[in-house]
Amino acid sequence: GAVVSQHPSWVICKSGTSVKIECRSLDFQATTMFWYRQFPKQSLMLMATSNEGSKATYEQGVEKDKFLINHASLTLSTLTVTSAHPEDSSFYICSATPGSSSYEQYFGPGTRLTVT
Amino acid sequence: EDQVTQSPEALRLQEGESSSLNCSYTVSGLRGLFWYRQDPGKGPEFLFTLYSAGEEKEKERLKATLTKKESFLHITAPKPEDSATYLCAVQGGSEKLVFGKGTKLTVNP
């Protein structure tokens, strides 16, 4: 149980284009989903927290207009990187928590974004 | 500000050689301390949650313990398939997880 999927697993795009990454909880309803970014040999850095039907809460230093997050249902959240630049190249990972009774976050397999 | 420091950064063991990984933390109102395993190019895989000092949890060759200032992940008789990066994270007053940089474990056959 507690399986989270991400799509795509990797993507290459040209500078200036937008990329959408999907995060789905497959066997549970996720009241809260989180988006992280991980650079090589670095730890996971939280970008934003999203609750179903609400606006996402972004961490300090994360551009809201660049990283658009939509949490339209209890099983799906999307992250859109708008006008991507090479410095946006990174490993993006989502996580989901089943509900208020559990603090455990279950992570997706990650999406490798390369902007050329 | 919640902080997590993991040591060592990297650890090489021979198969069967037991050892421990350390996670030191400062947090305002600990909700939980989490251990994850991360393989290269993959998302973190949940291992344990510890909620209060003195708590211990075991899973196969892994055992996690918790004090008020640190947590240890003990690995008994490791096998090559235990090679991975082990991440520690704390959750304080909010739902946010604050991660350490991880310990990269290599177990040689």
Distance in angstroms (rounded) separating the CA atoms of residues A92 and A21: 9
Residue A8 has pLDDT above 80, yes or no: yes
The full DSSP string for B40-64 is TTS--EEEEEE-STT-EEEETTEEE
What lies within 8 Å, CB to CB, of B50 at 6+ separation is B32, B33, B34, B35, B56, B57, B64, B65, B66, B71
Dump pLDDT digits (tens) for A24-36.
Answer: 999 989 888 999 9
For residue B19, the one-letter residue type is: S
User: Closest Cα of chain B to A110: distance in Å?
Assistant: 5
Choose among B81, B79, B76, B82: nearest CA to B64: B76
Question: What's the mean pLDDT in B85-101?
Answer: 89
**What residues in chain B have their Cβ under 8 A from chain A's Cβ atoms?**
31-32, 34, 36, 41-46, 49, 87, 91, 95-97, 99-102
Predicted confidence at residue A68, as pLDDT, reads: 95
Name the DSSP class of A60.
T
Out of A32, A43, A112, name the one closest to residue B95 (CB). Answer: A32
Spell out which residues of chain A touch residue B91, defining contact as CB-CB under 8 Å: 103
User: Is the CB of A6 inside 8 Å of chain B's CB atoms?
Assistant: yes
Question: What's the mean pLDDT in B14-38?
Answer: 95
User: Closest Cα of chain B to A75: distance in Å?
Assistant: 18
Dump pLDDT digits (tens) for B42-77.
Answer: 999 999 999 999 999 999 999 999 999 999 999 999
Indicate the pLDDT class of residue A22, thresholds 50, 70 and 90: very high
Residue A43 or B84, more confident: B84
Dump pLDDT digits (tens) for A60-101.
Answer: 999 999 999 998 888 999 999 999 999 999 999 999 988 655
Residue A45 has pLDDT above 60, yes or no: yes
Predicted confidence at residue B94, as pLDDT, reads: 74
Question: Quick check: A105 and B34 CB within 8 A?
Answer: yes
Residue A103 has pLDDT above 80, yes or no: no
Question: Quick check: A49 and B44 CB within 8 A?
Answer: no
Share of chain A above pLDDT 90, in %: 72
The neighbour count for residue B93, using CB atoms within 10 Å, is: 11
Burial B14-47 (b: 16+ CB within 10 A, else e): eeeeeeebebebebeebbbbbbbbbeeebbbeeb
Spell out which residues of chain B touch residue A112, defining contact as CB-CB under 8 Å: 41
Q: What is the mean pLDDT of chain B?
A: 94
Question: Quick check: B46 and A49 CB within 8 A?
Answer: no
The full DSSP string for B18-32 is -EEEEEEEE-SS--E
Distance in angstroms (rounded) separating the CA atoms of residues B91 and B66: 14
Dump pLDDT digits (tens) for B10-25.
Answer: 999 999 999 999 999 9
